Amino acid sequence: MTESATPDTKAIAVWQPMLFAAMAGGMAWGIRGQYGHETGAMIAGLLVTLTLTFLLCPRAPTFGVVRAVAMGTVAMGFGGTMTYGQTVGLTHNAETVGHVDALAWGMLGLAIKGGIWIGFAGAFFGMGLGGKRYRSREILALFLAMLGAYFIGTRLLNYPIDAEARELPLLYFSEHIWWEATDQFDPRREAWGGLLLALAVVITYAGHWRGDTLARNLGFWGILGGAIGFPLGQSLQAFHAWNPEVFQTGIWERIDPHMNWWNMMETTFGATMGATLGLGLWLNRKRIAFAPDEPARTLNPIVGFALLALHLTLVFFVEFRENRSVDALYDLGLVMGIIPMVCIVGGRWWPYFAILPVTLMPIAGKTFRELILRNQGLELPYFVPHQQDGTVSLENVDPAVVMGATIYFGLPLLIATAAAIWFATQAVKGESRRQFTFPAVLLASWMYFTLNYAFFHFPWPWEEWTSRTPNGIIFTVCVLGLTAMAITGRFMNESHTSTVPPQTE
């Protein structure tokens, strides 16, 4: 038996989820550009799914919303395994400018990789919103099947790679000998084929085997959003490279030196995929439903917290230390997602921790490393001075490092952890869904905006412009737009939102 979350969505016009999800996705994916990889992409998963649930799930049980947001957040990271820098390069590198075939091939590669990337987020977000109850063992089995499909897909579509013999797969979208004649041939290993088959497993299982129509539909909407968004964003950067004369006259002559076209590409990609997911969920809003918010747990809390500590430790080593054993095990998006996804569907506390401190930890750590440690010639985790005999010399610790660790790492994590604990305990008391999504949207939006603005070295528009200023202005508009959405949405719909108490089976 499921509870529909749709009665109060009649007043939501289609432009609202499209516009605000575009703001969330544009800002978040642009922020991701500074942090990279799987963990950076999770910022976009968090902000887009929070925005859409705030708008389109007004009567949903709180825990069901949190679980759906957490599933979409983690799944957005899976595509970070794919390499795409050289694919982008095919469309704008100096060696390929003028080669229409290289441009078309690069854009095709970006469409495939972008579609796969966002398809995962759409499918898992839909699994959280479709009213089907997934269990921990079921999700574990699904991930094992996905990993099997991944290794089969990479062997079928992404091999062989032989730099000496210049042998490449038939469908290869990175550095290419057809258009880039160079003696330094260094092809990167692609993984899109493996992820394509893994995504097919998810959509087939959820949509066909479990009859989860919303998961299937949102998976395809995610594919569409990524397939359009990545090439559309890159078209801006490619146009700049192919038509330099356009930017040497008029207002562009003054603005172009301050433009970070790569970050503009990322921002456009994120805005497009966010708007497309917003449209897809709005069109499928009648399918949004939630299983009763049962208090029973399938995951022992002690086991859950032990797995939380293990996951954070492994992510720390992947992001901040070079360890071949850990990287071989955990530097693959699908593997990195197993523990979180299994615990999200089976634990009461995990969804809250997944979307708050777990997502934040690597971002806060990278901000601290960039702004403080690298200025001091230090690196995580050994930023405390050591004497020659190996003992710690606390009296030589730079106060700036301590202050930076507090401001950029300790304080944000403390706030996120406290918020996760507060939300989890309030949910047990039967808080309304908006008592979670309203503060969560504000907290997440401003937390990541502020950290990134610091990463940008605070590009205030009234000061001398840098290459960060234009994107800083765009992100400011986005965070203010999300703030306005949250505040107006709360007061306009407060009278229509009912409190959903915990239910037992």
Both tokens of residue 72?
Answer: 């979409």
Is pLDDT above 80 for 431? no
**Stated pTM of the model:** 0.91
Is pLDDT above 60 for 128? yes
Instruction: Name the band, by pLDDT with cuts 50, 70 and 90, for residue 96.
Output: confident
Instruction: Name the band, by pLDDT with cuts 50, 70 and 90, for residue 201.
Output: very high
The confidence score (pLDDT) of residue 376 equals 62
Report, as an integer, the average pLDDT of 140-168: 90
What average pLDDT is seen over the chain? Answer: 87
Spatial separation of the C-alpha atoms in residues 338 and 333, rounded to whole Å: 9
The confidence score (pLDDT) of residue 436 equals 84
The confidence score (pLDDT) of residue 21 equals 98
Coil, helix or strand at residue 142: helix
Which range has highest mean pLDDT (160-174, 266-280, 427-441)?
266-280
Contact between 78 and 195 (Cβ < 8 Å): yes
Report, as an integer, the average pLDDT of 53-61: 87
Percent of the chain beyond pLDDT 70?
86
Site of tokens 């004497």: 387
The confidence score (pLDDT) of residue 100 equals 92
Cβ partners under 8 Å of residue 135, min gap 6: 298, 345, 346
Q: Is 166 left (phi over 0), alpha (psi -120 to 50) or beta?
A: left
Backbone phi, psi, residue 341, to 5°: -70, -40
The confidence score (pLDDT) of residue 496 equals 46
Among 61-65, 135-139, 365-369, where is mean pLDDT lowest?
61-65
Contact between 244 and 256 (Cβ < 8 Å): no
Among 134-143, 324-333, 339-348, where is mean pLDDT lowest?
324-333
- Select the more confidently predicted residue: 324 or 166: 324
Spatial separation of the C-alpha atoms in residues 28 and 46, rounded to whole Å: 9
Direct distance between the N- and C-terminal alpha carbons of the chain, in angstroms, rounded to an integer = 10
SS3 content of the chain, % helix, strand, coil (to 5): 70, 0, 25
Both tokens of residue 63?
Answer: 């825990």
The confidence score (pLDDT) of residue 43 equals 97
Instruction: Name the band, by pLDDT with cuts 50, 70 and 90, for residue 395.
Output: low
The confidence score (pLDDT) of residue 323 equals 79
- Select the more confidently predicted residue: 403 or 115: 115
Is pLDDT above 50 for 120? yes
pLDDT per residue over 239-261, tens digit each?
999 999 998 888 888 889 999 99
Is pLDDT above 90 for 7? no
According to DSSP, the β-strands at 3-4 and 289-290 are antiparallel
Report, as an integer, the average pLDDT of 341-363: 94
Contact between 280 and 218 (Cβ < 8 Å): yes
Is pLDDT above 80 for 291? no
The confidence score (pLDDT) of residue 432 equals 53
The confidence score (pLDDT) of residue 95 equals 84
Contact between 18 and 279 (Cβ < 8 Å): yes
Instruction: Name the band, by pLDDT with cuts 50, 70 and 90, for residue 234.
Output: very high
- Select the more confidently predicted residue: 405 or 492: 405
The confidence score (pLDDT) of residue 126 equals 97
Q: Which H, E and C letters describe 148-216, residue by residue?
A: HHHHHHHHHHCCCCECCCCECCCCCCCCCCCCCCCCCCCCCCCCHHHHHHHHHHHHHHHHHHCCCHHHH
**What angle, rounded to 10 degrees, do the helices at 192-204 and 213-242 form?**
150
> Cis before residue 160, ω within 30 degrees of 0?
yes
DSSP at 332: S
Is pLDDT above 60 for 383? no
Instruction: Name the band, by pLDDT with cuts 50, 70 and 90, for residue 392.
Output: very low
Going by C-alpha positions, the residue among 281, 334, 361 that lies closest to residue 117 is 334
Going by C-alpha positions, the residue among 171, 49, 179 that lies closest to residue 112 is 171
Spatial separation of the C-alpha atoms in residues 263 and 468, rounded to whole Å: 9
Among 111-120, 174-183, 282-291, 466-475, where is mean pLDDT lowest?
174-183
Cβ partners under 8 Å of residue 421, min gap 6: 352
Report, as an integer, the average pLDDT of 128-150: 94
The confidence score (pLDDT) of residue 98 equals 87
The confidence score (pLDDT) of residue 191 equals 93
> Cis before residue 362, ω within 30 degrees of 0?
no
Is pLDDT above 80 for 385? no
Both tokens of residue 73?
Answer: 């957040």
Among 294-308, 456-470, 491-505, where is mean pLDDT lowest?
491-505
Instruction: Name the band, by pLDDT with cuts 50, 70 and 90, for residue 65.
Output: very high
Among 149-163, 293-307, 323-337, where is mean pLDDT lowest?
293-307
What b-and-e string marks burial along 248-274, b requiring 16 or more CB atoms within 10 Å of the CB? eeeeeeeeeeebbbbbbbbbbbbbbbb
